Homo-oligomer: A and B are copies of this chain.
């Protein structure tokens, strides 16, 4: 358990053996709260867990939970045996049903405590599911941060340029493989970014704008990166012993079943018909179509209004009106997005996924589709509508507007419209640079401010209030005060969702895949951003979020499909942009040949991907081979044990040979009795060969055999 970055612990209070259950009875009445709380403690104790209760902020109680050494050690062992049974790790962990072990790293212990608290009773847990069903007032369950290791690891990460595999191991040891895979992903991406960053600067300095060479290079780079990451993912999942871990995942408590039945072995099955699940999932398609149309309409209208005002309007209040569309978008988009995200959440609940992983992924993917719309649509509009057709479309829009204004007696004062050919670049710059900056602010600064402010407000309220607080009833003991303050603080922090962070990187990858030739120095910006992002995300988890349960996963899940789709779309979009813009002309010939260019680019890149994939797949990795060898050696050992006594034939005793002969002779097939004596078959054949070959040599017939 000795953590490479941990300093010797100072206090008698240890952090990493405590799991916290936050119970908030603010909205319950007296009896209800007491009953619920009693049940909570009973359930925890029934699962064999030790508890200590301390007052929290406002009307909340912090229930500290600890798994006794034996229970925890057995849970860890059982989890390993389960992994082995599911073929996730190649070898049985050893030991028997009474074995008690210590987790190899902090997260392994914490994960087992999490399971003891969270898993349903029939799996040996206490069944505490925060916010769900009868545990609606359990606001959260979380392990405490290991502040010292957090800090030393953060210091260590800040000093290194690139992370070594051991650094990723440290993150895994602390936060579990699901979070560690995010860091592995951003790290691999960061390393790969150095290539387009370099070529991007070269392209920016010396190559023409919308360079074909740079476009091809980036598309190829996307494909290679993606295939390389797929191998890395498998490699890491083997390193961490979590390959195919999704098989082990338990049913989430919200899963609804139509009926349950008991099979002949006495096991209860929960049945939810496949066709229902499929038809519900199919609803995603109309939903996403609708959502894309809704978002699309909003974005297109704002886009149109913005262009009309900023580029053709010359009337009064232009200065103010110019900001109108941005304000419109800023005001309306969050509403639309929130409404759609709510709908997506409802949809995902309705889809009724069996495991929490599947649920989370389905939701994240929906939100991601919405995000791609918001992020990429303005650029697509600029590239493929505004710039090529602006001269046609904008005056017409203007005419419509003028008519509209005329009906209300207004007049549209305008300047002649000319397409702003830099708009594409500006749009990309605006969306990437400001996007990165604002997301940094939203992720890191905002929550911190919000958290601080709400803390101040709570203190202020309490100091003015006449009512008793829990903490005033039972003041903290001096030696616990600092510790409890920390716990109360962590209890107010939000949950960490690693999908949001992955989503951000995938979105960034999308800019590169889709629009790289527009502004070739994007990658170097991304490189710098991500170098910081990696460290700041680690700091964010340590400071601004509750420590996540160290859940395991064997990669970044369905984001692979998103990356695949973006790479594919990229081969189309990049080709189209280069084709249309590098000539700086939009004649008919150019448009006519566009589908051909796109067709060629798309298919060449598809073939290339197949090629890269099969090469990398063949090459595999050292660890993949090692895992295969281990599994193989295990099997061979087993079979050799079977073989040991069983080399038949030679070395049989005389008695055994006679017995075998007698079996042949007494069998009902006389065929096998002709040459049953030792060497009879051989003698017969040799004699035949001899006669023929002698006959051949002397050309005379000697038909004789005994």
Chain A positions near chain B (C-beta within 8 angstroms): 12-14, 17-18, 23, 25, 29-30, 33-34, 37-38, 41-42, 45-53, 55, 59, 61, 63-64, 66, 68-71, 74, 78, 81-82, 85-87, 97-98, 124, 265, 267, 274-275, 277-278, 281-282, 285, 466-468, 470, 472-474, 479-480, 483, 592, 595-596, 598-599, 611, 615, 618-620, 633-636, 638-639, 641-650, 660, 663-664, 668-672, 674-676, 681-682, 684-686, 688-697, 699, 701-703, 705
Closest to A74 in B: B646
- The 8 Å CB contact of A686, one of B34, B98, B467, B682, is B34
A663 vs B14: C-alpha distance when bound (angstroms): 15
Contact in complex: A618, B68 (CB < 8 Å): no
Report the minimum CB–CB distance from A456 to chain B (whole Å). Answer: 23
Cβ contact within 8 Å between A685 and B267: no
Identify which of B14, B33, B46, B638 contacts A669 (C-beta below 8 A).
B14
A697 to B33, CA, bound (A): 14
Does A267 lie within 8 Å of B633, measured CB to CB?
yes
List the B residue with the shortest CB-CB distance to A87.
B87
Indicate if the CB atoms of A38 and B686 lie closer than 8 Å: yes
A691–B53 contact, CB under 8 A? no
CB pair B697 A30 closer than 8 Å:
yes
Q: For residue A48, which residues in chain B have a CB less than 8 angstroms away from its CB?
A: 647-650
- 3 closest A-B pairs by CB: A48-B649, A595-B595, A48-B648
User: Are the C-beta atoms of A97 and B670 separated by less than 8 Å?
Assistant: no
Instruction: Determine the chain B residues whose CB is within 8 A of the CB of A642 once the complex forms.
Output: 78, 81, 97
Pairwise interchain contact B684-A34, C-beta atoms closer than 8 A: no
Most B CB within 10 A of own CB, among A50, A668, A685, A692: A685
Residues of B within 8 A of A51 (CB): 675, 681
CA distance A642 to B691 in the complex (A): 71
Q: B473–A694 contact, CB under 8 A?
A: no
A52 in complex: contacting residue of B42, B275, B278, B671, CB < 8 Å? B671
Which residues of chain B have C-beta atoms less than 8 A from A12's C-beta?
Answer: 668-671
A633 touches B265 (CB 8 A): yes
Q: Do residues B41 and A639 form an inter-chain contact, with CB atoms below 8 A? A: no
Specify which of B29, B42, B82, B281 is in contact with A618 (CB 8 Å cutoff).
Answer: B281
Q: Which residues of B contact A671 (CB under 8 A)?
A: 12-13, 18, 52, 64, 480, 483
Q: Which residues of B contact A701 (CB under 8 A)?
A: 466-468
Q: With A49-B649, A645-B97 in contact, is A282–B615 under 8 Å at CB? A: yes
Beyond known contacts A82-B639, A274-B618: 7 more, CB 8 A cutoff: A30-B689, A48-B649, A53-B681, A85-B634, A124-B647, A473-B692, A480-B671
A-B contact pairs, 12 of them (CB 8 A): A23-B685, A30-B693, A38-B686, A50-B676, A52-B675, A81-B638, A81-B639, A97-B642, A97-B646, A124-B647, A470-B692, A595-B599
Q: Is the interface of A mostly helix, strand, loop or mixed?
A: helix
A417 and B634 CA atoms in complex are apart in Å by 74
A274 (CB) vs chain B CBs: closest residue: B619
Contact A473 B696 (CB under 8 A): no
B97, B615, B703: the one contacting A278 at CB < 8 Å is: B615
Complex-state Cα separation, A42 to B675, whole angstroms = 14
Closest B-chain residue to A484, C-beta based? B671
User: By the criterion CB–CB under 8 Å, are A52 and B697 in contact?
Assistant: no
Chain B residue contacts of A33, Cβ below 8 A: 689, 693
Per the bound structure, the CA–CA distance linking A402 and B621 in Å amounts to 62
Q: Would you give the shortest CB distance from A462 to chain B, in whole angstroms?
A: 13
Given contacts A98-B645, A473-B691, A619-B278, contact A50 B664 (CB under 8 A): yes
Query: A228: shortest Cβ distance to chain B, in Å?
Result: 15
Q: Is the CB of A705 within 8 A of B646?
A: no
| The one of B29, B45, B470, B595 that contacts A649, using a Cβ cutoff of 8 Å | B45
* Cross-chain contact A688 with B470 (CB below 8 angstroms): yes
- Contact present for A663 and B30 (CB under 8 Å): no
Neighbouring B residues of A702 by C-beta, 8 Å: 468
Q: A74-B646, A618-B277, A695-B468 are in contact. Are A50 and B703 (CB under 8 A)?
A: no
* Residues from chain B with Cβ under 8 Å of A267 in the complex: 633, 636
Which one of A25, A87, A620, A681 has the greatest number of beta carbons of chain B within 10 Å?
A681
Tell me the nearest residue of chain B to A277, going by C-beta: B618
Name the B residues within 8 Å of A670 (CB-CB): 12-13, 479
What chain B residues lie within 8 Å of A18 (beta carbons)? 671
Instruction: Pick the contact of A692: B59, B66, B278, B690 (CB < 8 A).
Output: B59
Of B598, B695, B703, which one neighbours A599 at CB under 8 angstroms? B598
User: Chain B nearest CB: distance from A469 CB in Å?
Assistant: 8
A92 to chain B, nearest CB (A): 10
Closest chain B residue, CB of each to CB of A592: B592
